């Protein structure tokens, strides 16, 4: 068909629609034979002069939007007489219910945007706007979770969205109700609390989080940078490690791993290792040994900078909160399988649904098994995960969620390759320099619960608990020193086995009140944590290996410990926080936390008497932040925060006295904004972060340490997430970090911190066709750049910059999805990071291809 003929047909369709619209003719409802009104030229608001304007006028007109309160929630009415022709396409993103209505146009007075803030308890906002020239978007944002929405239509009113909010674990602000249908008291409500629906999220942006304040708060109201990586990003990229998942967050550099079995990251220039106290699960502290599992996670939330005011002891760079998948109120069954090069095989299932007729008891069960090889010689891994969750709505205002997890991991330990001169050694990236029998084994059991009770609209309590039991073993010859002339790499035999217990409990009391015109949300909390460690170690000599011509000794040695250690660490924390709304566009957050902690340690060498010591300390951590919102789409913020991390037993002064905790101080300013009618969210942040009381080698006696070190990180970060248009999603970041040593007795002042690139950036975007014969076909593209980094604090060698490209192709049809992911599309050689030494540099993976088939039923 020619362009001219297509244009004529389009104009004819538009004219036909105009001639039958209310602007040209109206049938009197009282009689069927009422004469038709003859239109006047003035009845046409804007004669069309372009194809886009013809499309707009041909679309069904929504001339008014109303919100009415009901006894259970509210109803949103889009007024039109052509409801039978409207076919909304529904989805959800976090706490947002979204309906896109094609072939419709919003025609209101003013700017054609309807928005009402807090129209009902539990609903943050209702927005109706024109997504494009032929589509209306309706967004309903829940305060505590995704609201329940049912659609109906009325010839006399229009399209009706009946909205029931999720009852919150935190108190709701009392909202004005309809005079004819007042809200029932909380104790008399008949509807049960609906748990947050997870797994339904199809977008890349999340509007609310609990990580930044321990209360469910819009991200735009939190005076600190928080980034969220939702489940869909993990699925679209087909990533299973935390390091890979966080490559899309500014200021985070994925270092690969520590010897192939523990996650290794830097966040705003500082290590986020397995032993740094950086990881939390649903707000409860985790003791991390080996890679945490990601298949049973709904999202990852990264709170950047010091976070001790809410989370106690932690490194200065920030914390990572792993948010669990929760049960669904409707039956859901999903299975998938993945195969890939390097002998990669993985299978999993995700089942969920109600367990009783009233849907007050719901379950979710995630299970995964994988067996993977590697581009590294002899390296392979096997893991099993089983993660059940049960939720119980005890009453309309009380809920209990219990989750468990069992994981069994076996993974080859791999120290990587050494550096020669000022670069990683020029050897094949597949070359393995430990021994083929090198291995890490871990079995972990954990159980936790979250209990919520809402006394009334202004007072609620939340109590959570988590317990972990871990049994692990490391058995491998580790690399220690390299003769750079001959290529001979020294190795030492190593064995460690241990049993670890970790217990963590938090109780939060949350109250809302006003002082005059000022609104408060007060958080009063208490945390108790206890960790018991009982490891044993064995060391010895082992044959060296030549990195240019490796010959493996294959000499196994007995698992004979010669050193024993027992640690018991307990901590208590009390915290207070007030979120103050001075006016609708001016908000304050301030608070403080007092922590006390004790450690009892006993050590002994084989055949020697036990040595015991104990130490204790306390610390106060303040926080102050301000948010100014000049309009509905922009938030300007500034914040001051502090953190601490005890130096427990790792180092001692020459007089055997106790070291002070390491401290972090951060000043941060930033702007958060929404654009493209709220479909995209952006955060631009600048910060100065200082870590003090860093332990360094004593210049008088190298067998001891002293505390004089200081390290500083200054940077600017940008993060963008959301949906540019229907089907086109994006998560992108960029960062500049100047991280260096500012005081030290061992390393040169001015040296850059290890593994910290001055510049880095990332982009992951997907587009899925929304209509036509190829509907469901999608494409993904990922771009990842990391600049030059030094591999150690001596700055003795450089990890060169790299630019990596990933890609994806997928097709979604009915209840199944086929997906192909390619990582490192152009097979770029690069190095992910080092452990801070010259002998353990982790090469990046080469061209990798994964094929996945998923089915829901």
Angle at 89 between CA 723 and CA 719, to 5 degrees: 10
Strand bridging mode 831-834 / 798-799:
unpaired
610 pLDDT band, cuts 50/70/90, is: confident
How high is the mean pLDDT of the chain? 85
Specify the length of the chain in residues.
857
Q: Is 215's pLDDT higher than 60?
A: yes
Q: Which range (118-122, 441-445, 700-704, 711-715) has the least confidence?
A: 700-704
Per-residue pLDDT reduced to its tens digit, 543-583: 999 999 999 999 999 999 999 999 999 999 999 999 999 99
Strand pairing partners for 188? Answer: none
In terms of pLDDT, which residue wins out, 276 or 668? Answer: 668
C-alpha–C-alpha distance, residues 825 and 822, integer Å: 6
Q: Does residue 808 lie within any of the structural domains?
A: yes
3-class SS letters over 278-309: CEEECCEECCCCCCCCCCCEEEEEEEECCCHH
Q: Does residue 800 lie within any of the structural domains?
A: yes
Give the long-range contacts of residues 108-115, CB within 8 A, separation 24 or more.
108/62, 108/63, 108/64, 108/65, 113/677, 114/65, 115/632
188 pLDDT band, cuts 50/70/90, is: very low
Structural domain of 141:
11-176
Q: Which residues, 6+ apart, have CB-to-CB distance to 42 below 8 Å?
A: none
Q: Which strand (E) or helix (H) includes residue 127?
A: strand 123-132
Q: What is the DSSP string of 648-674?
A: -SS---TT-PPPPPEEEEEEEEEEEEE
Q: Is 54's pLDDT higher than 70?
A: no
Closest CA to 414 of 840, 848, 852: 840
pLDDT for the residue numbered 20: 41
Helix (H, G, I), strand (E, B) or coil at 44: coil
C-alpha–C-alpha distance, residues 43 and 46, integer Å: 9
- Which residues in 415-428 are b (16+ Cβ under 10 Å) and which e? bbbbbbeeebbebe
End residue of a domain, out of 113, 145, 176: 176
pLDDT for the residue numbered 30: 40
828 pLDDT band, cuts 50/70/90, is: very high
Q: Is 24's pLDDT higher than 70?
A: no
Q: Is 847's pLDDT higher than 60?
A: yes
Of the chain, the end-to-end C-alpha distance in Å amounts to 41
C-alpha–C-alpha distance, residues 267 and 246, integer Å: 10
C-alpha–C-alpha distance, residues 680 and 731, integer Å: 9
Per-residue pLDDT reduced to its tens digit, 501-513: 999 999 999 999 9
Give 541's Cβ-side CA count (13 Å radius): 1
Domain with residue 144: its CATH number is 2.60.40.3500
Q: Does residue 223 lie within any of the structural domains?
A: no
pLDDT for the residue numbered 695: 78
pLDDT for the residue numbered 639: 97
Per-residue pLDDT reduced to its tens digit, 446-462: 999 999 999 998 999 99
- How distant is the alpha carbon of residue 483 from its chain centre? 43
**Average pLDDT of 795-805?**
97
Q: Does residue 615 lie within any of the structural domains?
A: no
Angle at 240 between CA 239 and CA 241, to 5 degrees: 105
Q: Is 55's pLDDT higher than 70?
A: no
Asked whether 852 and 818 are in contact (CB, 8 A), the reply is: yes
**Tally of domains in the chain:** 2
Per-residue pLDDT reduced to its tens digit, 393-448: 999 899 999 999 999 999 999 999 999 999 999 999 999 999 999 999 999 999 99
**Average pLDDT of 591-598?**
93
Per-residue pLDDT reduced to its tens digit, 646-698: 876 544 565 666 778 889 999 999 999 988 877 899 999 999 999 998 877 66
707 pLDDT band, cuts 50/70/90, is: confident
Per-residue pLDDT reduced to its tens digit, 281-325: 998 888 888 778 899 999 999 999 998 888 988 889 999 999 999
Asked whether 747 and 793 are in contact (CB, 8 A), the reply is: yes
pLDDT for the residue numbered 111: 62
Q: Is 7's pLDDT higher than 90?
A: no
End residue of a domain, out of 176, 203, 238: 176
Q: Which strand (E) or helix (H) includes residue 579?
A: strand 563-583
Asked whether 627 and 638 are in contact (CB, 8 A), the reply is: no
Domain with residue 447: its CATH number is 2.40.170.20
16 pLDDT band, cuts 50/70/90, is: very low
Per-residue pLDDT reduced to its tens digit, 325-366: 999 988 999 999 999 999 999 999 999 999 999 999 999 999
Asked whether 582 and 520 are in contact (CB, 8 A), the reply is: no
pLDDT for the residue numbered 761: 97
pLDDT for the residue numbered 18: 38
C-alpha–C-alpha distance, residues 842 and 416, integer Å: 5
pLDDT for the residue numbered 690: 96
Q: What 8-state DSSP symbol labels residue 246?
A: G
Q: Does residue 185 lie within any of the structural domains?
A: no
Helix (H, G, I), strand (E, B) or coil at 186: helix
Other CB atoms within 10 A of residue 686 CB: 15
Range with the largest mean pLDDT of 123-132, 172-181, 183-192: 123-132
pLDDT for the residue numbered 433: 97
CA separation, residue 4 to residues 7, 79, 477 (Å):
5, 35, 76
Angle between helix axes 3-19 and 51-58 (nearest 10 degrees) is 40
Strand pairing partners for 728? Answer: 725, 767
Strand pairing partners for 454? Answer: 460
Per-residue pLDDT reduced to its tens digit, 720-771: 999 998 899 999 999 999 999 999 888 899 999 999 999 999 999 999 998 8
Q: Which strand (E) or helix (H) includes residue 13?
A: helix 3-19
Other CB atoms within 10 A of residue 650 CB: 10
End residue of a domain, out of 176, 194, 213: 176
Sheet strands (E) in 726-815: 728-743, 759-768, 777-786, 789-790, 798-799, 802-813
Asked whether 662 and 642 are in contact (CB, 8 A), the reply is: no
% the chain with pLDDT above 70: 86
């Amino acid at each position: 068909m020619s362009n001219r003929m297509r244009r004529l047909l389009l104009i004819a369709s538009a004219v036909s629609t105009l001639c039958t619209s209310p602007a040209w003719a109206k049938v009197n409802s009282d009689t069927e034979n009422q004469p038709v009104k003859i239109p006047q030229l003035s009845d046409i608001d804007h004669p069309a002069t372009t194809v886009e304007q013809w499309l707009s006028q041909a679309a069904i007109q929504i001339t008014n939007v109303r919100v009415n309160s009901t006894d259970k929630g509210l109803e949103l009415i889009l007024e039109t007489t052509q409801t039978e022709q409207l076919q909304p396409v529904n989805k959800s993103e976090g706490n947002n219910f979204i309906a896109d209505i094609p072939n419709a146009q919003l025609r209101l007075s003013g700017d054609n945007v309807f928005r009402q803030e807090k129209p009902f308890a539990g609903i943050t906002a209702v927005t109706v706007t024109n997504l494009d020239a032929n589509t209306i978007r309706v967004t309903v944002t829940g305060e505590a979770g995704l609201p329940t929405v049912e659609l109906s239509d009325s010839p006399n009113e229009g399209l009706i969205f009946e909205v029931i909010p999720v009852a919150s674990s935190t108190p709701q602000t009392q909202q004005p109700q309809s005079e004819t249908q007042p809200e029932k008291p909380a104790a008399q409500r008949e509807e049960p609390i609906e748990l947050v629906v997870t797994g339904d999220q199809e977008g890349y942006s999340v509007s609310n989080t609990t990580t930044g304040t321990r209360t469910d708060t819009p991200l735009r109201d939190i005076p600190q940078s928080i980034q969220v990586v939702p489940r869909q990003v993990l699925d679209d990229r087909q990533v299973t490690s935390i390091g890979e998942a966080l490559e899309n967050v500014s200021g985070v550099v994925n270092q690969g791993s520590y010897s192939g079995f523990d996650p290794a990251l830097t966040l705003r220039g500082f290590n986020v290792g397995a032993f740094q106290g950086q990881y939390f699960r649903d707000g409860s502290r985790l003791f991390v040994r080996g890679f945490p599992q990601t298949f049973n996670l709904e999202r990852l939330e990264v709170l950047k900078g010091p976070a001790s005011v809410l989370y106690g002891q932690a490194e200065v760079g920030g914390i990572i909160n792993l948010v669990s998948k929760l049960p669904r109120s409707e039956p859901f069954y999903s299975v998938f399988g993945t195969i890939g090069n390097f002998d990669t095989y993985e299978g999993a299932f995700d089942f969920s649904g109600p367990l009783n007729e009233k849907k007050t008891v719901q379950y979710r069960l995630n299970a995964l098994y994988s067996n993977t090889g590697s581009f590294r010689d002899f390296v392979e891994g096997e893991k099993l995960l089983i993660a059940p969750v049960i939720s119980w709505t005890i009453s309309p205002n009380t809920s209990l969620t219990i989750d468990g997890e069992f994981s069994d991991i076996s993974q080859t330990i791999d120290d990587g390759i050494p550096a020669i001169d000022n670069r990683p050694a020029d050897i094949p990236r597949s070359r393995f320099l430990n021994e083929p029998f090198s291995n890490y084994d871990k079995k972990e059991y954990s159980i936790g619960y979250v209990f919520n009770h809402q006394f009334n609209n202004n007072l609620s309590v939340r109590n959570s608990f988590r317990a972990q039991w871990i049994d692990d073993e490391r058995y491998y010859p580790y690399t220690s020193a390299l003769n750079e002339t001959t290529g001979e790499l020294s190795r030492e035999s190593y064995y460690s086995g241990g049993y670890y217990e970790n217990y963590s409990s938090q109780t939060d009391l949350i109250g809302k009140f006003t002082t005059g015109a000022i609104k408060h949300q007060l958080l009063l909390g208490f945390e108790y944590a206890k960790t018991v460690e009982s490891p044993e170690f064995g060391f010895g000599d082992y044959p060296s290996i030549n990195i240019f011509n490796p010959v493996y000794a294959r000499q196994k040695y007995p698992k004979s410990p010669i050193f024993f250690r027992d640690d018991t660490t307990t901590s208590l924390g009390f915290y207070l926080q007030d979120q103050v709304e001075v006016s609708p566009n001016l908000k304050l957050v301030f608070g403080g936390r007092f922590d006390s902690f004790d450690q009892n340690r006993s050590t002994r060498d084989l055949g020697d008497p036990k040595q015991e010591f104990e130490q204790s300390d306390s610390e106060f951590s303040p926080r102050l932040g301000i948010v100014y919102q000049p309009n509905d789409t922009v938030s300007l913020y500034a914040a001051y925060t502090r953190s601490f991390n005890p130096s427990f037993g790792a180092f001692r002064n020459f007089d055997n006295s106790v070291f002070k905790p390491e401290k972090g101080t951060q000043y941060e300013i930033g702007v958060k904004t929404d654009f493209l009618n709220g479909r995209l969210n952006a955060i631009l942040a600048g910060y100065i972060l200082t870590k003090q009381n860093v332990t360094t080698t004593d210049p008088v006696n190298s067998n001891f340490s002293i505390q004089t070190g200081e390290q500083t990180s200054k940077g600017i970060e940008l993060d963008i997430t959301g949906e540019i248009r229907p089907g086109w999603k994006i998560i992108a970041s960029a960062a500049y970090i100047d991280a260096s040593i500012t005081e030290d007795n061992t390393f040169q002042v001015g040296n850059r911190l290890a593994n910290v690139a001055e510049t880095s950036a990332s982009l992951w975007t997907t587009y899925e066709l929304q209509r036509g014969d190829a509907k469901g076909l999608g494409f993904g593209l990922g771009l990842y750049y990391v600049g030059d980094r030094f591999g150690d604090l001596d700055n003795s060698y450089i990890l060169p910059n790299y630019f990596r490209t990933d890609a994806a192709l997928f097709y979604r049809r009915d209840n199944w999805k086929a997906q192909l992911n390619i990582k490192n599309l152009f097979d770029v050689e690069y190095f992910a990071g080092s452990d801070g030494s010259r002998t353990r540099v982790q090469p990046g993976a080469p061209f990798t291809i994964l094929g996945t088939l998923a089915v829901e039923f």
